[in-house]
Structure 1
């Protein structure tokens, strides 16, 4: 396998104004990273089938960073599609890649990217990381800002699931302070998690503001996936916030 300096989940880590995701992908000079970014676009816009098709050729890539991105997206997409076997195989490959890189003479940034793939996938699937795996928190500073923000959103989600709502909200707010510009995908997730915490902390007005912020950032690029994932945990607040703005989308979503 080859270790490169490519970013894992390049679109997730990209900064752009909402509505410009497709433009960012087209302008990527690294065409293989652009294909991964395109798969991310498909996934976050709730098109799991196209996401899986796009990354499938990269599941056996020699470049570990491309392979990890493909594995992550293939895992998430196939869980949506309903192919748990394919999702499990991709998740297991993430672990194999991570173990190899951590044991090799890789840079801290490369190790951080591998641990990012491992921890994000496990947290997403509610799987407890193995004790022998290096702690993720000490590697987060070595991630690019966008990936760091996305990782923190999932760490905050994990904290939320332990019913530590104030602490989870604090993680989100710390991430917002860290964001030096607009990273749409992580910020959508951060706002959703913040809203979930605010609901449980009885901060209804603040929760509505967080959901509205997430929705307005997601809408131009049609990044619906975060709302599908967090729909239940938002406890009906999404419908309250966006019903008047996009009744057609809500109606079709509920029908599906």
Structure 2
């Protein structure tokens, strides 16, 4: 990827260098990254919108009820204290639904969110829809998940000509749902540059994770890492839920670049944020994309937590495939063990048995056995053929 300096960006967009530096520090230029004291900006980056004009478009305080727990800073270990201190009402209910979901309790998340699926407040309704859809994946209620996802898509179509704030809410929810299911974005979707600057910081941090995840799927790993590092540098760590997901996306990128040490650093950073409040759902959701990093790190040091994460993986991935595979025609493998899948992912990316074994703390012969079992289950004869059944 090619980068330009702040001065070059200022000349290109006809603004001051100081304004460009401010845009970078605020995370308003996707992919901008700091190199020492200077900012490097992707050559294809778009000029951010004028924040004052965006703010003038609002008629109400923005996004107080949209994924409130995700959008609230707290110290690791203080999540339940934060929830208990919230004022009783719909906002608190949605925050609890988030907590139940992100701590791997989809049944409780679904129950808490369900009563708001028809709520007139769009922030509460779409928050409930997002939580409910993904909770349904994990408990095997696929038809209900599909219905809620369709409701999200329909809302995006219906709200296309409504007030800017409604469009931002729709875009945030619809983009999150599509990207995390590895589905194409709806045609009505505005560009990330149109809605990202309008989000409050916590939601913007999660939206940047979604953008980074999308770039990962496009194999643009360097740009994805640039977005992640910029968001974390700006203070996303204050918001544990977005920060956990940002770190996990960095693991995906660094493993794709065959840099396991950097991947391990980000995995441990995510774990340090997640473990005090038991926010382990994201680890289970991302297992297949983490390139055996959970087996290499979490399994060795926290074996009981690893078992719970793997249980989440099996439940979530089974539902995920039932949405993803029919809609995309990409038959991601559904009958491999998590260890077989992790080894097969690495093998499909060109890792040798020795490299996989050293990374996952198992022998090369054990790797060979896992790969043989994987190929047998998938009815393929070569490592190269594994790729079509792996996550993209």
TM-score, length-scaled by structure 1: 0.91
In the alignment, the residues of structure 2 paired with residue 94 and residue 199 of structure 1 have an alpha-carbon distance, to the nearest angstrom, of 32
In the alignment, the residues of structure 2 paired with residue 135 and residue 170 of structure 1 have an alpha-carbon distance, to the nearest angstrom, of 19
C-alpha distance after superposition, 1:95-141 (max 9, x if no partner): 2333333322x2x3442122101111111122212323322331100
Helix, strand or coil: the match of 1:154?
Answer: helix
Is residue 140 of structure 2 the alignment partner of residue 97 of structure 1?
Answer: no
Cα separation, partners in 2 of 1:62 and 1:134, compared to 1, 3 Å: same
Is residue 276 of structure 2 the alignment partner of residue 217 of structure 1?
Answer: no
TM-score, length-scaled by structure 2: 0.61
In the alignment, the residues of structure 1 paired with residue 279 and residue 245 of structure 2 have an alpha-carbon distance, to the nearest angstrom, of 10
Q: CA deviation at 1:175?
A: 1.5
Query: Does the 8 Å CA contact 2:202/2:236 hold for their aligned counterparts?
Result: no
Q: CA deviation at 1:180?
A: 6.0
Correspondent of 1:203 among 244, 248, 259: 259
Correspondent of 2:244 among 172, 180, 188: 188
Helix, strand or coil: the match of 1:152?
Answer: helix
In the alignment, the residues of structure 1 paired with residue 100 and residue 94 of structure 2 have an alpha-carbon distance, to the nearest angstrom, of 10
Q: CA deviation at 1:84?
A: 1.5
Cα separation, partners in 2 of 1:41 and 1:157, compared to 1, 3 Å: same
Cα separation, partners in 2 of 1:254 and 1:230, compared to 1, 3 Å: closer
Partner of 1:49: 107
Query: Does the 8 Å CA contact 1:4/1:64 hold for their aligned counterparts?
Result: no
Partner of 1:120: 176
Cα separation, partners in 2 of 1:111 and 1:179, compared to 1, 3 Å: farther
Q: CA deviation at 1:212?
A: 0.4
In the alignment, the residues of structure 2 paired with residue 126 and residue 102 of structure 1 have an alpha-carbon distance, to the nearest angstrom, of 23
Structure exhibiting the larger radius of gyration computed from Cα positions: 2
In the alignment, the residues of structure 2 paired with residue 76 and residue 223 of structure 1 have an alpha-carbon distance, to the nearest angstrom, of 15
Superposition pairs for residues 75-90 of structure 1, below 5 Å? 75-90=133-148
After the TM superposition, which of the residue ranges 80-89 and 51-60 deviates more from structure 2? Answer: 80-89
Cα separation, partners in 2 of 1:80 and 1:137, compared to 1, 3 Å: farther
* Structure 2 unpaired stretches of 5+: 1-59, 315-392
In the alignment, the residues of structure 2 paired with residue 254 and residue 78 of structure 1 have an alpha-carbon distance, to the nearest angstrom, of 18
C-alpha distance after superposition, 1:136-156 (max 9, x if no partner): 331100001111111111111
Superposition pairs for residues 239-250 of structure 1, below 5 Å? 239-250=295-306
- When the two chains are superposed, the root-mean-square deviation of aligned CA atoms in Å is 1.9
Query: Does the 8 Å CA contact 2:117/2:129 hold for their aligned counterparts?
Result: yes
In the alignment, the residues of structure 1 paired with residue 227 and residue 308 of structure 2 have an alpha-carbon distance, to the nearest angstrom, of 34
In the alignment, the residues of structure 1 paired with residue 283 and residue 191 of structure 2 have an alpha-carbon distance, to the nearest angstrom, of 29
Cα separation, partners in 2 of 1:143 and 1:24, compared to 1, 3 Å: same
Partner of 2:77: 19
> How many residue pairs were aligned?
252
Higher RCO (CA-CA < 8 Å; seq separation 6+): 1
Partner of 1:230: 286
